[in-house]
Structure 1
Amino acid sequence: MKEFTMHIFQHIPFLRVHAAKVGSVLDEWKGYKQSVPTFGAILLNEDMSQVLLVQSYWSRASWGFPKGKVNKDEDPYRCAIREVLEETGFDISRLIDKNDFIEAVVNEQTVRLYVVTGINTETKFQPRTRNEIKNVEWFPIADLPSNKKDITSRVKMGVGPNAFFMVLPFIKRLKRWIQEKQQGGSQVFRRNRQKSVGEVEVSQSKNKRQQFAQVIQAEMQEMQALKQMQELQAMKQDVHSSPPARVARRSDANSRSQKPSFKRQLFTDQLAPAPQQPQPHCHHHQPPHQQAVERNHPVRAKESSAPTRCDDFQFSAPSWVNFKFNRKAILACLEL
């Protein structure tokens, strides 16, 4: 293209002065070409199972929708009518709906295609332009590929997905449009009809990422809860697997309390439960140590047998609830 443009600039006098900057001129021209929007139509048969595609005269292996660039100050739907008439010879002016269209951005160029239904498959199409459209044919929508890796068209029609590269950006949205139209809910589609394919894909990928993050978070919480439950079960197993404490019952008929079945804790802050009737002195409940002191050392036993309060110094444990120590008697035994 650059070489051809340089020959043109050298042979045309008023362009010859710009021959030194052919590269920048071509770049500006390409930018302008991509900035001009393209309008066309998607022609569907009566039951919306087939779509009309055209094949370019120069690109023999590619198929696309009838469309073209808009002229200056031309309405988009009028541009679509004109392009369809030029490339197929069919007039859609009475069938087109200005509110039913699918718009996408393909190669930085805006492409809007108006959806037209109810076309008879027996219609004879005759392009009105020379050396622009080679073939006009109907294709089953179900056989068209949805992406570049979809080989449905190759299997069913013998045509690879690359031949429909201009159709791929619209197939998924066209199928949704047909499904909603058949269900009578086209308003949902119209609310999103002006979104480009890139915007739709970004929105879908964002929703998928959010859903994936929520699933991962839920699984982590579930695993954490399961881990905590397993730890609690392990603790319970450790407790139950320890040797059980011996259970003793008091000989007193009025008391039927049972010792707790857990490990002994000899020295705790918990005091022994108070008796039903207060006993001011503890000399009636002398431990064996004090009895031994009285037998061997009567004097020392007499000094140590002085009435003392039970709460002078007490040790209690869950496993020895009713056992009490006499501090003075123990000290007297230690002096021996």
Structure 2
Amino acid sequence: MDYVIPKYVLDDLCSRFIINIPEEERQDLIRIFFQIELAHWFYLDFYCAEDVELRTVSLRDFSVQIFHHIPFLTEYVGEVEKRFEEWRAYKMSVPTYGAIILDPEMKYCLLAQGFWTKSSWGFPKGKVNAEETPLCCAIREVLEETGLDVASLINKSDFIENQLNDQLTRLYIIPGVTLDTHFQPQTRKEIKGLQWFPINALPVHKRDQTSKTLLGMNPNNFFMVIPFVKNLRKWLSRKQGEENGSGDGKNASSSFRTKIWENSERKQDSQRQKKHSQQQQNFIKQNQNEMQDLLQLQEERQKMKNLGDLSEKKTNSKSGHRQHTSSSPRQTSKPQLQIMGRDGNITGNTRRNLADQFDKPNRPAAGSASSDRPARPHSSNREKKSRKKDIFKEEFHSKTWLNFKFDVDAIMACIP
């Protein structure tokens, strides 16, 4: 303990804030520490400000001196440090309420700098008292820290909530405060300064260098503001969109939390629509593939059918050509050989070529009985060759041999 507060000062502070509390609250050390905190603020705001000989002390040292000074607290002197840490942990769990004050164009917000902080800024807010509503707490804290009464401006449905270190913080959004408004804090030694800051210059996380670039201030100077900047920008974007769509923005949704839920629903609807669209595309693609397969199959069948028709047509054409060739008379005439008689004179009689004998053996003469016989049915090439072979064997020893013998005799007769 570096500095001992004078006894008369402690007597006045204890009588003001601690001794006169109800008997049942004296047994609750948490409640005692809240009263000690109020006494500490009063000591800094009034005693130290008016008497230069008095020195400021921390809340921890101030609490130790109070426990030594009040008789019913002396039994807890040995555990003051432990009780103080318990109170601080409990205090951090107490909800805090405040406001985000905006200019009419909603481009700037008002930030407050604590008296005991070096360079950090935050929104005006404070802890709720016993049996105090969140709205009343926010109005009271804004009035104490800025001197502005926002009771007629605040909307209980427009707020941003955040859970930090198990402590709930709710900030009501209050637009429409002009930049030339005069602010005067109601408490002493609590608020060092109030200043308007551009919303687009505030960082959204600890590594965001936007404030360094635009304001020349480190992101650590706004560590109490960072958790709310992103949601504030989203709220402003929706608010401006509603005002542009409806003209006055009076049909806005009831609360920021409800808007977040609506955004989540819209996101889910978008995902469902995207999934449904994907399913439709897959269905259409599958049908297209099946249709292509069907068309390809039909095309292949048509090709096979065309090939079959062409093959049948060629077959019919060849068959017709063979029939035409076999039925038509021979177009080319073979040379006719004349026979020379034994006396050396050439007779007018002619005889067929040997090849003609082989091609058409035993052809009946015109007017003979065999010429009236019906035409022989068409036979295959194999049957024709077989008949030619048999005829050759039969005729070679008869007419063919005699003709050949006659030719030799005729030739020999011409030799002198």
Question: Aligning the two structures, in what range does the TM-score lie when normalised by the shorter sequence?
Answer: 0.5 to 0.7
Distance (whole Å) between structure 1 residues aligned to residue 139 and residue 284 of structure 2: 63
1:222 alignment partner in structure 2: 281
Distance (whole Å) between structure 2 residues aligned to residue 211 and residue 26 of structure 1: 49
- Does 2:158 match 1:101? yes
For residue 175 of structure 1, give the secondary structure of its aligned residue in structure 2.
helix
What CA deviation, in whole Å up to 9, does each residue of 1:53-106 have, x standing for no partner? 11233444432211111222334333223222322233334x433535304132
- For 2:229, which of 152, 161, 168 is the aligned residue? 168
Q: 1:15 Cα deviation (Å)? A: 1.5
Q: 1:220 Cα deviation (Å)? A: 4.2
For residue 111 of structure 1, give the secondary structure of its aligned residue in structure 2.
strand
- For 1:53, which of 90, 102, 111 is the aligned residue? 111
User: Match for 1:124: what amino acid?
Assistant: H
User: Match for 2:252: what amino acid?
Assistant: V
The answer on whether the counterparts of 2:135 and 2:156 sit within 8 Å (CA) in structure 1 is: no
1:15 alignment partner in structure 2: 76
The answer on whether the counterparts of 1:39 and 1:79 sit within 8 Å (CA) in structure 2 is: yes
The answer on whether the counterparts of 1:103 and 1:110 sit within 8 Å (CA) in structure 2 is: no
Distance (whole Å) between structure 2 residues aligned to residue 76 and residue 43 of structure 1: 17
- Does 2:76 match 1:76? no
For residue 63 of structure 1, give the secondary structure of its aligned residue in structure 2.
coil
Distance (whole Å) between structure 2 residues aligned to residue 214 and residue 27 of structure 1: 52
For residue 274 of structure 2, give the secondary structure of its aligned residue in structure 1.
helix
1:36 alignment partner in structure 2: 94
- For 1:66, which of 94, 103, 124 is the aligned residue? 124
Q: Which runs of 5+ in 1 are unaligned?
A: 249-291, 293-336
Distance (whole Å) between structure 1 residues aligned to residue 209 and residue 266 of structure 2: 27
Change (3 A) 1:118 1:216: closer
For residue 132 of structure 2, give the secondary structure of its aligned residue in structure 1.
coil
User: Match for 2:255: what amino acid?
Assistant: N
- For 2:267, which of 208, 212, 227 is the aligned residue? 208
User: Match for 1:239: what amino acid?
Assistant: Q
The answer on whether the counterparts of 1:62 and 1:165 sit within 8 Å (CA) in structure 2 is: no
Distance (whole Å) between structure 2 residues aligned to residue 36 and residue 137 of structure 1: 27
Change (3 A) 1:206 1:33: farther
The answer on whether the counterparts of 1:87 and 1:128 sit within 8 Å (CA) in structure 2 is: yes
The answer on whether the counterparts of 1:145 and 1:152 sit within 8 Å (CA) in structure 2 is: yes
Q: 1:29 Cα deviation (Å)? A: 5.2
Q: Which runs of 5+ in 2 are unaligned?
A: 1-59, 311-378, 380-416
Distance (whole Å) between structure 2 residues aligned to residue 210 and residue 181 of structure 1: 24
Q: 1:192 Cα deviation (Å)? A: 2.7
Distance (whole Å) between structure 2 residues aligned to residue 117 and residue 210 of structure 1: 32
The answer on whether the counterparts of 2:159 and 2:255 sit within 8 Å (CA) in structure 1 is: no
The answer on whether the counterparts of 2:99 and 2:138 sit within 8 Å (CA) in structure 1 is: yes
TM-score (norm 2): 0.46
More helix by share: 2
What CA deviation, in whole Å up to 9, does each residue of 1:144-200 have, x standing for no partner? 3456665543432234555232532641354146424574224433x234x28xx93
Q: 1:52 Cα deviation (Å)? A: 0.9
Between Structure 1 and Structure 2, how many residues are aligned? 236
Distance (whole Å) between structure 2 residues aligned to residue 214 and residue 188 of structure 1: 26
- For 1:192, which of 247, 250, 255 is the aligned residue? 255
User: Match for 1:73: what amino acid?
Assistant: E
1:308 alignment partner in structure 2: none
For residue 252 of structure 2, give the secondary structure of its aligned residue in structure 1.
helix
Change (3 A) 1:141 1:181: farther
For residue 200 of structure 2, give the secondary structure of its aligned residue in structure 1.
helix
What CA deviation, in whole Å up to 9, does each residue of 1:220-249 have, x standing for no partner? 44134313412431342243144325459x
The answer on whether the counterparts of 2:162 and 2:227 sit within 8 Å (CA) in structure 1 is: no
Distance (whole Å) between structure 2 residues aligned to residue 161 and residue 17 of structure 1: 41
Change (3 A) 1:28 1:208: farther
Larger Rg: 2
- For 2:144, which of 73, 82, 86 is the aligned residue? 86
Change (3 A) 1:91 1:174: same
* Paired-residue identity, %: 33
Change (3 A) 1:170 1:128: farther
TM-score (norm 1): 0.55
